[in-house]
């Protein structure tokens, strides 16, 4: 009897312990509304509690670095391979062995040491004024340096990591000299000194301040589905063009995640990443962020389908992360503010 009671108490203690230990601390650079529902579903299905901290990507990376080995961070979720690579090079992530992750994330969309994995894809492309430009006038990104585009192109600043990654991808594919010449030519055709975010470039096209913008398609998708009619109206004045379809394809970046170097709950962290790659999570997460799923066979949201299919770059994104610093120096040389 005494023994049986002991066993019951032990069992209860084990349950209490595992309930206590079943949690995972997520540092996310994505807005709470765009990630929390998918984390809640993970908790419901696994019983693992998710403690979510959201913030600016660079601030979260600095925070993990300064917390050092006492950091409670288990998972870092952020956008752009430039930032994932930065976290890796600061020794803030660890390698993860997972058949699920290797199976569902193509090799070029994850780190060679499996320290980060893509969760979604994001296309950075040309958007043009339906009134003042016709698709026949457009071809490759290279042709944006033509004289005819003088004073007609809007793009954000070189301090923006999306542009740094786009230029890094060009360095990888065209070489440094050709990319520098291209950047100089593009800067010459700017309609104005770079300012604002991607949405602002799209709005500037709609407002007639420029005829072409370079932006990520989820911004246009977000405007088209915005509850504010003025956003929808601006977005409807603009069309998507897919450049470089006969050669290297469109620049595609990622949002992604990695397990923190000193993760106190590593197993739960890996389970969370695996959950993020399930068909269910991929569909929700990609749709609500206006991005493309990474896992094969998951449908794109209707708003992205209307932009059409396209050929994407197929370089390993790790190279894009590695070339970030070089890209920034090159943009500076080109006079890209
Ligand atoms: Fe963005």
Would the CATH topology of 2-121+254-305 be identical to that of 122-251+311-333? yes
Fold of 2-121+254-305: D-Maltodextrin-Binding Protein; domain 2 (3.40.190)
Which CATH architecture best describes the domain 122-251+311-333?
3-Layer(aba) Sandwich (3.40)
pLDDT under 70: residue ranges of the chain? 1-21
**What is the pLDDT at residue 116?**
98
Residues 6+ apart with CB under 8 A from 78: 28, 29, 30, 57, 60, 61, 84, 87, 255, 256, 257
Query: What gap in Å lies between CA 253 and CA 248, rounded to an integer?
Result: 14
* Whole-structure pTM value: 0.92
Tell me the CA–centroid distance for residue 166 and ligand 1, in Å: 13
Give 101-157 pLDDT, tens digit per residue.
999 999 999 999 999 999 999 999 999 999 999 999 999 999 999 999 999 999 999
Q: What is the 3-state secondary structure (H, E, C) of the chain?
A: CHHHHHHHHHHHHHHHHHHHHCEEEEEECCCHHHCHHHHHHHHHHHCCEEEEEECCHHHHHHHHHHHHHHCCCCEEEEECHHHHHHHHHCCCEECCCCHHHHHHCCHHHECCCCCCEEEEEEEEEEEEECCCCCHHHCCCHHHHHCHHHCCCEECCCCCCHHHHHHHHHHHHHHCHHHHHHHHHHHHHCECCCCCCCHHHHHHHHHCCCCCEEEEEHHHHHHHHCCCCHHHHHHHHCEEEECCCCCCCCEEEEEEEEEEECCCCCHHHHHHHHHHHCCHHHHHHHHHHHCCEECCCCCCCCHHHHCCCCCCECCCCHHHHHHCHHHHHHHHHHCCCC
The per-residue pLDDT for 84 is 98
Tell me, in angstroms, the distance from the centre of ligand 1 to residue 333's CA. Answer: 25
Distance (angstroms) between ligand 1 centre and the Cα of 70 equals 30
Cα–ligand 1 centroid distance for 228 (angstroms): 19
Domains in the chain: boundaries: 2-121+254-305, 122-251+311-333
- Cα(19) to centroid(ligand 1), Å: 36
Looking at residue 19, what is its pLDDT?
46
Cα 122 to middle of ligand 1, angstroms: 9
User: 282 CA to middle of ligand 1, Å?
Assistant: 18
pLDDT score, position 6? 52
What is residue 212's predicted lDDT score, i.e. its pLDDT?
98
């Amino acid at each position: 009897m005494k023994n049986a009671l002991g066993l019951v108490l032990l069992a209860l203690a084990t349950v209490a312990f595992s309930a206590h230990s079943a949690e995972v601390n997520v540092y996310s650079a994505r807005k709470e509304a765009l990630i929390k529902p998918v984390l809640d579903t993970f908790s419901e299905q696994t019983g693992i509690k998710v403690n979510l901290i959201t913030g600016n990507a660079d601030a979260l990376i600095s925070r993990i670095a300064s917390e050092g080995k006492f950091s409670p961070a288990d998972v870092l979720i952020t956008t752009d391979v430039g930032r994932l690579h930065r976290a890796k090079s600061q020794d803030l992530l660890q390698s993860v062995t997972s058949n699920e992750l290797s199976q569902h994330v193509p090799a070029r969309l994850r780190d060679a040491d499996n320290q980060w994995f893509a969760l979604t894809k994001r296309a950075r492309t040309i958007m043009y004024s339906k009134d003042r430009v016709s698709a026949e006038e457009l071809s490759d990104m290279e042709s944006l340096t033509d004289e005819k585009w003088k004073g007609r192109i809007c793009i954000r600043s070189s301090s923006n990591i999306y542009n740094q990654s786009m230029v890094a991808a060009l360095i990888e594919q065209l070489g440094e000299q050709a990319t520098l010449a291209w950047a100089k030519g593009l800067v010459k055709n700017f309609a104005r000194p770079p300012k604002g975010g991607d949405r602002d470039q799209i709005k500037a096209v709609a407002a007639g301040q420029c005829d072409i913008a370079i932006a990520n398609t989820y911004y246009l998708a977000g405007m088209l589905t915005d509850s504010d009619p003025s956003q929808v109206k601006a977005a409807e004045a603009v069309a998507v063009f897919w450049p470089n379809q006969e050669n290297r394809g469109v620049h595609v970046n990622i949002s992604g995640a990695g397990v923190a170097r000193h993760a106190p709950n590593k197993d739960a962290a890996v389970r969370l990443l695996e959950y993020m790659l399930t068909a269910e999570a991929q569909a929700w997460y990609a749709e609500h962020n206006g991005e493309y799923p990474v896992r094969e066979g998951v449908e794109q949201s209707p708003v992205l389908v209307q932009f059409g299919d396209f050929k994407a770059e197929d370089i390993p994104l790790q190279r894009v992360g590695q070339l970030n610093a070089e890209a920034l120096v090159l943009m500076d040389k080109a006079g890209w503010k």
